[in-house]
Amino acid sequence: MKKINSNKIDEKIFSSGIVHFCGIGGIGMSAIAQVMHQNGIKVQGSDSSESYMVQNMRNLGIKIFPAQKESNLQGVSCLVYSSAINLDTNEEVLAAKKAKIPIIHRSIALGFVMQGYKSIAVSGSHGKTTTTSLLGLILDKCGIDPVIISGGIMNEYNSNYKIGKGKYIVVEADESDGSFVNFNADLSIITNIDREHMDHYKTMDKVEEVFKVLLDHSKTSVICSDDERLVRLSSGNNVIKYGFKNGADLQIIKESIVYENGYSFFDISCDNEKFTIKTKLFGLHNFLNICSAFLIAKNIGCKVEDIISAISLFSGVKRRFTQVGKVENTIVIDDYAHHPTEIKAVIQGAKDFMKISKRSGEIVVIFQPHRYSRMYDLMDDFAACFDGVDKIILNPIYSAGETNENGVKIDDLAKKIQKNNKNLDIRICALDNVKANLGIMNVTQNDIIIFMGAGDISKFAYSSCDVLF
């Protein structure tokens, strides 16, 4: 396999032929491919799954093969892959090796796209997609007209990317495999550091190492001062801090938080001034995300009043507490949460939503765990993260291609949750049997039903409104 130096990419690799994306339908791969296509680079790809993203790309004129085969590589100058691709068995990768076609990781292709722009990288264990999308909208509304590459479908653009004519690019820097070390950033946001993706990292020391590289590769970083690990790591780096604690460059005044007419309001103190933030989002985790975007926008010269106005317009990202339907007065929500920290945040957000909407019903969670390795590593954390839920249905663990090496079972999680919440109504069933179990559990009017997970549960959430009751 030909080695590619991410800091010295030969542009001829991208311009001398067709750039082929192996697994082009992925949320990160598709955004990069579409930005390249819109910038005049010849792009094609392969994906075995027919999806909304694949159809969108076909509508743009991007050729997509339904299977990954050696014959797809005719006229290809390089092959781009993500960490989801097995380099030892994938037919296209093996064919590219044989033909000595350069094989490039997605992060290096992203680094190429970032060249020539003032770059802003958004990373962290949680919250990076919302933060990327919000920051992109703020800069857009402030007249910056950035390029945006997000890890989710931004509601304002109905897309995971936006082409801009300005000098800035805002990118989500995926930490799942540590590949963001392959590019530099002028500015970065690190929202938090948590015990996540341990199937790749193995130890928290390794997790810290890659985030330290991002800090070192950024001219200025915006970090959450409430995250002690992040504060320790950033010692010696040029950082701007935000959080709830005293001493932050931007401090959220927790006592100021109120909910009125479908909005959250909270005050912040920044540069010896106080400002009131109005947002459609709710939950302390989202207030922190908002403040990180606020600081970056202010740092590059956006007017505070314009930043605050843009924040009030932001309606979020698909699969981030997305209301997908309403059956009479029962709300159905779809959310990507698949880590205990994220689940806690969503449940707290649901409680806040109940306050905002003055609902008196119960919170019902349908949770599909994602990856055996994550469930095994964080079993006790998962068992303790459902406080505040009234009823829960657990689905079988979504493997994401993993083998169950440790023999972890969904029954194990159910028993541990029950031990922590003796009166909680818990059921285990496949997605196809959710309707029947909801009926047995007496889900009623004013309840909020949250479909939660990173596997294929989202498809059922969207179709559920026709069959739930």
State the catalytic residues.
Answer: 128-129, 172
* Per-residue CA distances from 40 to 14, 28, 350 (Å): 10, 19, 44
Residue 126 among known ligand-binding residues: yes
- The owner of tokens 């949770």 is 367
Is 125 one of the annotated binding-site residues? yes
Per-position DSSP letters for 4-24, written without gaps between them: --TTS--THHHHSSEEEEETT
The β-bridge partners of 121 are 171, 188
Q: Is 269 annotated as a binding residue?
A: no
* Residue 387, phi then psi, degrees to nearest 5: -60, 135
- Cβ-contact 335, 451 below 8 angstroms: yes
Residues 138/291, Cβ–Cβ less than 8 Å: no
The single-letter code of the amino acid at 368 is: Q
Q: What is the DSSP string of 205-238?
A: HHHHHHHHHHHHHEEEEEEETT-HHHHHHTTTS-
Residue 130 in marked binding region: yes
The answer to whether 128 is annotated as binding is: yes
Amino acid symbol at 111: G
Q: Which residue has the tokens 């990292």?
A: 201
User: Does 164 show up as a binding residue in the annotation?
Assistant: no
How many other CB atoms are found less than 10 A from the CB of residue 342? 22
b/e map of 189-206 (b: 16 or more CB within 10 Å)?
bbbbbbbbbbbbbeeeee
Tell me the C-alpha distance between 374 and 330, whole Å: 31
The alpha-helical segments, DSSP class H, found in 166-283 are 198-201, 204-217, 228-233
Strand partners for 84: none
Which residue type is seen at 207?
Answer: V
From first CA to last CA, the distance across the chain in angstroms is: 55
d(CA 195, CA 442): 36
- Is 217 marked as binding a ligand? no
Residues annotated in the binding site, as ranges? Answer: 124-130
Q: Which residues are annotated as a binding site for ATP?
A: 124-130
